[in-house]
Homo-oligomer: A and B are copies of this chain.
Amino acid sequence: MVWKGEQETFHIPLATFESPLWPSTARGAKISRLTNGIHVAVGDERMARSILLEAPSAMEALATMQHILQNTAIIRDAVNATTRHGRFCDVHGQVAGHLLYLRIEMQTGDAAGHNMVTAAAEAALQAICKQFPHLKYGSLSANMCTDKKNAAINGLLGRGHYTIAEIRIPAEICRQHLRTTPARLAKLNQQKNWVGSMLAGSVRSANAHVANILLAAYLATGQDAANIVEGSQAFTLAEEQEDDLLFSLTLPNLIVGTVGNGKHLPFVEENLMRLGCRQTRPNGENATRLAAMIGAATLCSELSLLAALTNPDELMRTHRKLERKQP
């Protein structure tokens, strides 16, 4: 699904000790108001939990996996019986020797879905063990989920909301409001976020400081903020196109919910309310809306920081100015 909100302006709450994040995000937001705005697309939503089963042999592990992947009803039915709020969506498998890993995926509506998918995985595990008595329980959670650890699998198979935020900025606005040019920003992005990350041995991660804004937005909206680990695996693109800068941020693993643990705290309720994420909508649309908003806010701050870094002395000078202003 591509999320297409009406055009609107909103204020995102950011809870952080790193106070320069506020003016940085605000600068990006200002650019969005001076242009055609930030367009956000949310392309997929799922939560995953992987289970582990032990077979007597590799041959049996592989044969059973193939059987299950061709007959997913056993997992689907077990999963769907555990909840009214989510539903089974897919299962992927891997076999290493006699070990069988199954990654169970479901749509979890407005909930981030950690507990929902664990309960569903437990039911699936029991159903499998019952139907295939040659398999033994291995683990209810087997790190191919992958929860709160970096991994390539999440971006490739999906976990959370696949969110892309994009803005087109005329060169003149780059110059006036970001003190840079499309060409300089594109070059810095390539050399820092792509070459630098690759040299560092990063896996599926090419951005400047996505984790900062995710953390601040997660804390302000009652999310399980440990999911910034996956969330930080995001991609910043900056391309000069004719006289514009096309700038985007792709967040393949943005995990958010508007119901569940932490959402009943008064400040969380208030923040979600203000963001319009507590309205009566089809199940899942409040969470999708929140993902889109956090995606847009993260783009703002990413843009502002990268623009600042194109100038040799801007970043620290601004930091110092901000610190002097503080009490």
Contacts and interface: CB of A to CB of B under 8 A. Distances in A.
A315 interface: yes
Nearest to A44: B66
A2 B62 contact: yes
Number of copies: 4
A96 to B, nearest CB: 5
A89 interface: no
A319 B211 contact: no
A250 B153 contact: no
Interface string A205-217: 1111111101100
B209 A147 contact: yes
Interface stretch (A72-80, A232-240, A269-277, A282-290): A232-240
Contacts of A239: 97-98, 187
A91 interface: no
Given A97-B248, A143-B200, A150 B262 contact: no
A200 B219 CA distance: 27
Interface in A64-88: 65-66
Contact of A2 (B66, B129, B208, B319): B66
Contact of A59 (B39, B50, B222): B39
B235 A96 contact: yes
Q: What is the interface of chain A mostly: helix, strand, loop, or mixed? A: mixed
Interface in A99-158: 99, 101, 115, 118-119, 122, 125-126, 129, 137-157
Contact of A237 (B96, B115, B153, B188): B96
Contacts of A192: 52, 138-139, 141-143
A34 interface: no
Interface string A4-32: 00000000000001110000000000000
A206 B211 contact: no
Interface in A253-287: 261-262
A205 B149 contact: yes
A173 interface: no
Contacts of A196: 50, 52, 101, 139, 142-144
A99 B191 contact: yes
A153 B97 contact: no
Contact of A198 (B129, B150, B194, B211): B194
A199 B315 contact: no
The residue in A41, A200, A237 that gathers the most chain B C-beta atoms within 10 A of its C-beta is A200
Nearest to A54: B191
B201 A198 contact: no
A162 B69 CA distance: 15
B226 A215 contact: yes
A198 B199 contact: no
A147 to B, nearest CB: 7
A202 B199 contact: no
